[in-house]
Chains A and B, each alone.
Chain A
C-alpha cells in the first residue's frame, strides 16, 4: 500500500491524535522525523464503517518485511520490520513506542483485537517496530 502523510499532535486528554482521513497516514510530529535518530511514529486507521482503511493489512507484516518512507525532498528511507505485536490499549507500551532511542527507527500503529461497539473503538493496538535498513 502507498499513502500520503499528515502531521499529528496530542489531544487535550493527552492521547495521540489520529489521521482525519481513513486512507491517510499520520506522523506524530512531536517525535523525530523518519530517518532521524529515534522512533518516528506513523499512525493509520485499520478500517472505517465502510471497510478496510490504510493500515488494514499492517497485522500481516512479518519480521524482515521492508517499509519505505519517502520524504518531502523525494528521498526514500528504507526500514526493516523487526517485530509486530498487539497490545490492549490500556496497556499501551508508551516507552517502547515513543521513548527516544539513538537508532533510526519507525513504529507503525493501528487498531486490532475485538471491536467494542459501545465505545465505537477497537480494544487493542497493533504495532510494527522497524529499524533503518
Chain B
C-alpha cells in the first residue's frame, strides 16, 4: 500500500503542476494566436465593434482543456506544440489545383490560399442578376446590408469562433437576392500550402424564396502541420433553400476547427452534408438556429479516421418554433487507434410544438483500439412532438461478412466492401456529381 501510494501522490502533484502551468500556457498560447491577427480592411469598418468585442473575449480566455464539458473527449494539447508566424501567402497556379476544381463550378469558384483570397485562381461569371459571390471586402462595398449579417449568429462567443471573428481578413461572401435561383454550385475552395494559421470566413445569405448550392472545401498541397480555424455563417431566409456540402480534406498532420452556424427563417430548407476525411485533429461545430416555423433541416455527417487521428462533430439543432422537421444522420468509421466523437444536441422547447426530429449516430469500429464517444443530447419540453434518436457502435457483423463470402467474395474483400458501403451511403446524398465521384474515389481508397 505504501509503495503504491508514493507514485499515486507524485502523479497527483504532477498533474497539479502540469494543470497549473498548462493553464497559463493555454492562455498565453491563445494570446500568441491572437497576436497574429490581420488588419480589417477599412471597407468593413462598421464591423469593428463586433471585432473588438471578440478580441477582448479571446484575450481573457485560454485554449480549452478536457475539463471543459464541451471538450471532454477531444484533447487539444498537441495543438500547443505548434508555433506559427505571420507569412506571406504562397504563389500557386492552376496546375496545383487541377485535382480540386469542379467542372460544375467553372464560373462560380472562389479560391483562398492559406486564408488569403486568390483572385487569379477564382472565377465568378454568368451568375443571375443581383447574385454576388466574391471576397468579403468587395461584398461590403456592394451590399450595404452585409454588416447586419456578418458575425451576428448566436454562439459567437465560443472561443475559436471569437478568435476567427477577431482575426480574419479575407473571406467568402455569397449573397443571393430574393427569388433568385443559382443553378451552378458555388465552390469555396480553401487551400493550405504551408505551416500557417488561417481563419477562413464565409458568409452566405439566401434571401426569401432563393435557392443556392454551396460547396465549402478544405484541401492541402502539403503534409504540413497547419491550423485552420474556420467560421461559416449561413442565413436561410423565408422559404429559401441552401444545399451545403462541407468537405474537410486537410493534411493528416493539420488541426482543423470549424464552425458552421445556420439561421433558418420560416419555411426554409437547409441540408448539410459534412464529410471529414483529413486532419490530425478535426472538430466541426454545426449549429442550426430556427427563427421561424415549419423549417426543414437535414444534416448528414461522415467522419473517417485512422492512425491516431481524432474526428469530432458537435452539433446543435436549436428549435424555437412549431412545425419544424429535422433529420440528422452522423456516421463514423474508426480504424487503428483513432478516436471519433459525436455530440448531438437537439433542443425542443415548449414553443416548438409539432416538431418532427430524428437523430441517428452510427459508428463502425474496425480495430480493438479504435474508440468512439457518442452522446445524443435531446432536451425536449414541448409535449406534442415526434423525436427519435439512436446511437449504434458496432464492428462488422459476422453474418454480413459470411453472406458475401458465401457468394465467393473473400473475407478481407467482404470487410472492405461493407465498410465502403457504410460510408458511401452519406456521399451518395451529394448532388454535385464531380464532387460525389471524387469523394467516392477517396472513400474507396480509405476503406481498402
Q: Do A and B interact with each other, yes or no?
A: no
